[in-house]
Amino acid sequence: MYIVSVDEAKCDGAGECVDTCPAAVLEVQEGKALAVNPDECLGCESCVSVCPTGAITVTEM
């Protein structure tokens, strides 16, 4: 199981993370990325690697 966290202060809402995630964990709402399906996270960290502001972290539980 993985915990996906988005630092809203850093997030610019560009959406690269949403487009890259193979499990549809993230969604942009009101200009910020949110983990809407966190239980689906595969832990691949593709969202982390494409986030231009470093707003996303994935932690293994």
Q: What is the pLDDT of residues 11-40, one digit of tens each?
A: 999 999 999 999 999 999 999 999 999 999
| Mean pLDDT for the chain overall | 97
Cα separation, 29 vs 61, in Å, equals 26
Domains of the chain: 2-60 (3.30.70.20)
Cα separation, 54 vs 30, in Å, equals 19
* pLDDT, position 37: 96
Phi, psi for 20 (deg, rounded to 5): -90, -30
Confidence of residue 47 (pLDDT cuts 50, 70, 90): very high
* pLDDT, position 43: 97
* pLDDT, position 20: 97
